[in-house]
Amino acid sequence: MTTSHDVAKLAGVSQSTVSRALRGLPGISEKTRLQIQRAAEMLAYVPSDAGRSLSTKRTRVIGVVSAELTNPFFPELVEPMRAEFERLGYRMLLIPDSSENPLEIDRLADGTLDGVILTTVVLGSQLPHRLAARKIPFVLANREIDGIQADTVVLDNQLGGKIVASLLADLGHEKVAAILGPADTSVGRDRGTGFQQGLSERRIALLPERVRNEPFTYSAGHKATIELLAAAEPPTAIFCGNDVIAFGACNAVASLGLIPGHDITIIGFDNIEMSDWDLFRITTVNGDLKGMAENAARLLIRRIASPDGAPERITLEPELILRATHAPPLGMRLRA
């Protein structure tokens, strides 16, 4: 195997000069740098990450922990994160976590990772506390937990819920329902809180029997919608805790011979790419996943460089995206 010593011999310089030149460090003339690069190319030399990590105490590998890899939301969050880490000179490792196969802290603390991004923590999770105790740099992205000082990037989910409430009130809906995310997530909690507050400000009641806390899945949205529409007084509008729940809600509506955006209003949340597909065209709330991903990556790299700095919180602004699944109540339109 070709080594940096072989490159140094061919280039006529010391091994340390080769190391500095290939790492882009200052103090090397442009002529010498080009000479070393040519020698490395001739010998097909590839710098060793393992060797570099021994000298720098860094692996330049980041772990991203997610418990919901089948949810199309997460690829849209993780891919721009990967691209940003690559731009910054880091590699990203996706680490699954689930209730069936919970992640052990030792897997994150074995020295192979420079830092961690947590994307699916639940309220009361101990993982962030354990990372802090081990002094492992980490960032909370998308979800957060109470009672810990940590770098965090989240959407203003309460404001997003209020925006949806205002839209439904402006359209004239009074019989509204909500299929929110799990109650043990900050996302499910905060979107529901904002929605209820927004309705209350417009003097619209959100009846307990019209509220569901369900997983962020298609099947949960489908099942809950069928149940809600089977009531003696069904809702005229349903707010869904994410777009995937809204997909299930739309298909449930269609299975009953109804049309989303005509017979009933369906509102999603996140604005994932599928929500704009012709089959759905869901009115939703934009969660700025690219901005969330890039900010989370930058915060983590800064935390790795400055472990003792004060934690930073970045809150992104939601934006209503009007498409095809909202309208005034059908009865109101018929009377008009």
β partners of residue 138 = 116
**198: helix, strand or coil:** helix
pLDDT at 56: 47
pLDDT at 109: 83
> Which residue in the block uniquely carries the two structure tokens 């996943």?
289
pLDDT at 24: 67
Instruction: Report angle CA 304, 310, 316 to the nearest 5 degrees.
Output: 90
> Of the candidates 247, 296, 238, which has an alpha carbon nearest to the alpha carbon of residue 270?
247
* Residue pLDDT, tens place only, 248-258: 999 999 999 99
Q: What does pLDDT average to in each consecutive run of 10 residues of the chain (336 residues)?
A: 85 87 77 90 72 59 90 94 92 83 78 93 93 94 94 98 98 98 96 98 97 97 98 97 98 97 97 95 97 97 93 98 96 63
pLDDT at 48: 60
Beta strands at 211-213 and 176-180: parallel, antiparallel or unpaired: parallel
- All structural domains of the chain, each given as residue ranges with its CATH number in brackets, are 4-47 (1.10.260.40), 61-155+288-315 (3.40.50.2300), 157-287+321-335 (3.40.50.2300)
> Which residue in the block uniquely carries the two structure tokens 């529409």?
229
pLDDT at 277: 96
As a whole number of angstroms, the distance between CA 181 and CA 120 comes to: 12
As a whole number of angstroms, the distance between CA 198 and CA 175 comes to: 14
First vs last Cα of the chain: how many Å apart? 80
pLDDT at 54: 44
pTM over 0.85? The answer is no
pLDDT at 30: 86
**Taking the mean position of all CA atoms in its chain, how far away is CA 17?**
42
